[in-house]
């Protein structure tokens, strides 16, 4: 093999200027390998919450796919999460004035009900502090019903996340027994809605109930007393040994520098995690396969990572960053996609305007159009975040969220939701960018110091969100992201 090495070096001296990007694009847009993998992942393994046997099967599956693609250094990188949360059984039913079964899904991080609760249902409207205060006298021992607007945009979804810890805390404060949250999606659709991110437990049992059942309960409660019976048994355990899947294409003359292409492999399990985020996990595997098939050997090492624990608050990528702390300074770029097969219009620069030019230069050289509407905003919500906190340049694809949102974490996030053409284009974009960043003469931007990261967090107003997502204390104390010196 060694005798081929100089040839590889010559060929790789300027991959971006060669026909390699075009070859990657042509392959990505015509190959069905990624979609075949996705179908297998979704239909034979299915939903894969971290801590479940399905997630373990998925990590083994991912490693086997990398090996079959001929990639080197394939490994599982185990890490420990302090607690697991998996759904068990749930039963919600109205018992008076009418008896009917209520469609419900346990909310992740929710404790079980110690015993079945049968209690008056109190409607607390939108669950604001004022609404709780107004109902205070009736809340002791009650099951509270909280209404939700219909989720139409990412901002709506974000607002749903931001309000949940407060609702649960208010329920606890007023002595309520449990919370029923109205589904933000019509027509009976249920989804997993984490009350907290991280590994803590919500203070009271929470479940999402169908929008139509919430409406019926509310109308009944306007007329008189309503009683509900609620029993839920979640499987709460830990500590648990989870694992990320890592594979590499070693670099040539800058092999000690690393470009990461990552996506999360875990998912919630009501559906089969196709759009969130099986399609992009399959793309990471297929990018590795493409590099091997086309003999692409960039100057820097490309590391393909399938993270787990993402749905619990990016625990897998946090563990990766902690475990690779000694080589974080060698990480030149981290790139991720996490909005299903939504059309990519550009990238989130994650607070780093200086990434715009190198990014555009690669897209231009590859002849890519329609993906240059970059956004300076910083994303705290997927696996880029611990890289951001460590000062590593990182990009998240800015994708059309409209097709993705209705099925987010829901029963309906299944293989048929995936837009094959867009998924193939996203895969092509990922491959071209990874190849470009890994082969460029210079890094796109230097690693930021801790002080610069702190400034970025201030400038992009991330602190409030980090507090809600239970990340702030860990960053402030140096347990997460850049260590404190």
Task: Tell me the two tokens of residue 293.
Answer: 């098939």
User: How near is the Cβ of 91 to Zn ion at its closest, in Å?
Assistant: 29
From 143-151, 173-181, 236-244, 337-345, span contacting Zn ion (CB under 5 A): 337-345
User: How near is the Cβ of 412 to Zn ion at its closest, in Å?
Assistant: 15
- 95-134 positions binding Zn ion, by CB under 5 A: none
Which DSSP string do the residues of 93-151 spell out, in sequence order? Answer: EEEESS-EEE-EEEPTTPPPPSS-EEEEEEE-TT--HHHHHHHGGG-TTPEEEE--PPP
Q: Are 472 and 463 in contact (CB under 8 A)?
A: yes
Which residues have CB under 8 Å from 7's CB, separation 6+?
none
From 153-161, 206-214, 215-223, 269-277, span contacting Zn ion (CB under 5 A): 269-277
From 10-18, 77-85, 272-280, 298-306, span contacting Zn ion (CB under 5 A): 272-280
Choosing from 123, 269, 338, 439, the residue that interacts with Zn ion (CB under 5 A) is: 338
Choosing from 277, 384, 426, 465, the residue that interacts with Zn ion (CB under 5 A) is: 277
From 18-26, 334-342, 350-358, 475-483, span contacting Zn ion (CB under 5 A): 334-342
From 97-105, 138-146, 187-195, 330-338, span contacting Zn ion (CB under 5 A): 330-338
> Quick one: 110 or 308, whose CB is closer to Zn ion?
308
Can residue 148 be called a binding residue for Zn ion (CB under 5 A)? no
> Quick one: 123 or 338, whose CB is closer to Zn ion?
338
From 191-199, 210-218, 331-339, 433-441, span contacting Zn ion (CB under 5 A): 331-339
Can residue 168 be called a binding residue for Zn ion (CB under 5 A)? no
User: How near is the Cβ of 192 to Zn ion at its closest, in Å?
Assistant: 12
Task: Tell me the two tokens of residue 289.
Answer: 């396969």
> Quick one: 165 or 342, whose CB is closer to Zn ion?
342
Residue 484 DSSP symbol: P
> Quick one: 232 or 282, whose CB is closer to Zn ion?
282
User: How near is the Cβ of 292 to Zn ion at its closest, in Å?
Assistant: 26
* Cα 420-29-25 angle, rounded to 5 deg: 140
User: How near is the Cβ of 127 to Zn ion at its closest, in Å?
Assistant: 25
How many residues bind Zn ion (CB under 5 A)? The answer is 3
User: How near is the Cβ of 266 to Zn ion at its closest, in Å?
Assistant: 9
> Quick one: 277 or 426, whose CB is closer to Zn ion?
277
Which residues have CB under 8 Å from 168's CB, separation 6+?
179, 195, 196, 202, 203, 204, 206
Q: Are 145 and 92 in contact (CB under 8 A)?
A: no
**Cα–Cα distance between 93 and 391 in angstroms, integer?**
50
User: How near is the Cβ of 310 to Zn ion at its closest, in Å?
Assistant: 6
> Quick one: 258 or 265, whose CB is closer to Zn ion?
265
> Quick one: 248 or 276, whose CB is closer to Zn ion?
276
**Cα–Cα distance between 168 and 205 in angstroms, integer?**
8
> Quick one: 48 or 300, whose CB is closer to Zn ion?
48
User: How near is the Cβ of 196 to Zn ion at its closest, in Å?
Assistant: 17
> Quick one: 210 or 382, whose CB is closer to Zn ion?
382
User: How near is the Cβ of 83 to Zn ion at its closest, in Å?
Assistant: 20
Q: Are 297 and 368 in contact (CB under 8 A)?
A: no
**Cα–Cα distance between 56 and 51 in angstroms, integer?**
8
Q: Helix, strand, or coil here: 364?
A: helix
- 213-252 positions binding Zn ion, by CB under 5 A: none
User: How near is the Cβ of 214 to Zn ion at its closest, in Å?
Assistant: 26
> Quick one: 168 or 277, whose CB is closer to Zn ion?
277
Q: Is 109 left (phi over 0), alpha (psi -120 to 50) or beta?
A: left
Please name the residue that has the structure tokens 């981290």. Answer: 334
Q: Given CA atoms 448, 454, 456, 462 in this order, what sign does their dihedral have?
A: positive
> Quick one: 66 or 307, whose CB is closer to Zn ion?
307
Question: By C-alpha distance, which of 91, 125, 85 is closest to 107?
Answer: 85
Q: Are 112 and 234 in contact (CB under 8 A)?
A: yes
Which DSSP string do the residues of 412-445 spell out, in sequence order? Answer: T-SGGG--HHHHHHHHHHHHHHHHHHHHSSS-SS
Q: Are 262 and 307 in contact (CB under 8 A)?
A: yes
Choosing from 182, 248, 276, 439, the residue that interacts with Zn ion (CB under 5 A) is: 276
**Cα–Cα distance between 450 and 456 in angstroms, integer?**
10
> Quick one: 276 or 411, whose CB is closer to Zn ion?
276
Can residue 399 be called a binding residue for Zn ion (CB under 5 A)? no
From 28-36, 105-113, 147-155, 335-343, span contacting Zn ion (CB under 5 A): 335-343
User: How near is the Cβ of 477 to Zn ion at its closest, in Å?
Assistant: 27
Q: Given CA atoms 321, 323, 327, 329 in this order, what sign does their dihedral have?
A: positive
Binding residues vs Zn ion (CB under 5 A):
276-277, 338
């Amino acid at each position: 093999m060694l005798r081929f090495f100089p040839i590889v070096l010559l060929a790789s001296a300027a991959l971006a200027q060669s026909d390699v990007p075009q070859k990657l694009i042509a392959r990505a847009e015509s190959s069905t390998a990624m979609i075949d993998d996705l179908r297998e992942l979704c239909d034979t393994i299915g939903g894969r919450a971290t801590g479940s046997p399905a997630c373990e099967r998925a990590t083994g599956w991912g490693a086997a796919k990398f090996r079959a693609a001929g990639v080197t250094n394939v490994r599982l990188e185990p890490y420990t999460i302090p607690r697991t949360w998996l759904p068990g059984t749930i039963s919600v039913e109205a018992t008076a004035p009418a008896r009917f079964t209520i469609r419900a899904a346990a909310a992740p991080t929710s404790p079980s009900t110690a015993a079945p609760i049968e209690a008056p249902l109190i409607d607390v409207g939108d669950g604001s502090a004022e609404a709780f205060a107004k109902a205070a006298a009736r809340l002791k021992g009650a099951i509270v019903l909280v209404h939700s607007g219909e989720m139409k945009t990412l901002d709506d979804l974000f607002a749903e996340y931001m309000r949940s810890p407060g609702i649960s805390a208010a329920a606890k404060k007023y002595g309520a027994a449990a919370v029923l949250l109205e589904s933000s999606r019509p027509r009976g659709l249920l989804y997993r809605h984490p009350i907290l991110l991280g590994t803590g437990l919500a203070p009271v049992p929470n479940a999402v109930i169908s929008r139509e059942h919430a409406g019926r309960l509310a109308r009944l409660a306007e007329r008189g007393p309503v009683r509900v019976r609620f029993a839920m048994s979640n499987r709460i355990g830990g500590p648990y040994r989870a694992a990320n899947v890592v594979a590499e294409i070693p670099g040539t003359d800058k092999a000690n520098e690393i470009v990461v292409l990552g996506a999360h492999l875990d998912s919630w399990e009501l559906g089969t995690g196709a759009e969130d985020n099986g399609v992009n996990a399959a793309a990471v595997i297929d990018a590795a396969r493409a590099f091997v098939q086309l003999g692409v050997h960039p100057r820097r090492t490309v590391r393909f990572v399938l993270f787990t624990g993402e749905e619990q608050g990016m625990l897998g990528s946090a563990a990766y960053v902690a475990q690779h702390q000694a080589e974080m300074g060698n990480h030149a770029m981290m790139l991720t996609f996490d909005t299903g097969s939504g059309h990519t219009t550009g990238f989130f620069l994650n607070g780093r305007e200086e990434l715009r030019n190198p990014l555009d230069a690669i897209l231009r050289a590859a002849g890519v159009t329609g993906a240059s509407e970059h956004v300076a905003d910083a994303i705290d919500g997927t696996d880029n975040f611990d890289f951001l906190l460590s000062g590593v340049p990182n990009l998240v694809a800015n994708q059309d969220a409209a097709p993705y949102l209705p099925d987010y974490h829901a029963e309906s996030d299944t293989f048929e939701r995936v837009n094959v053409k867009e998924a193939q284009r996203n895969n092509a974009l990922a491959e071209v960018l990874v190849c470009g960043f890994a082969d460029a003469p210079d890094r796109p931007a230097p690693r930021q110091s801790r002080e610069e990261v702190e400034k970025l967090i201030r400038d992009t107003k991330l602190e409030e969100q980090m507090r809600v997502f239970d990340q702030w204390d860990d960053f402030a104390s140096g347990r997460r992201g850049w260590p404190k010196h």
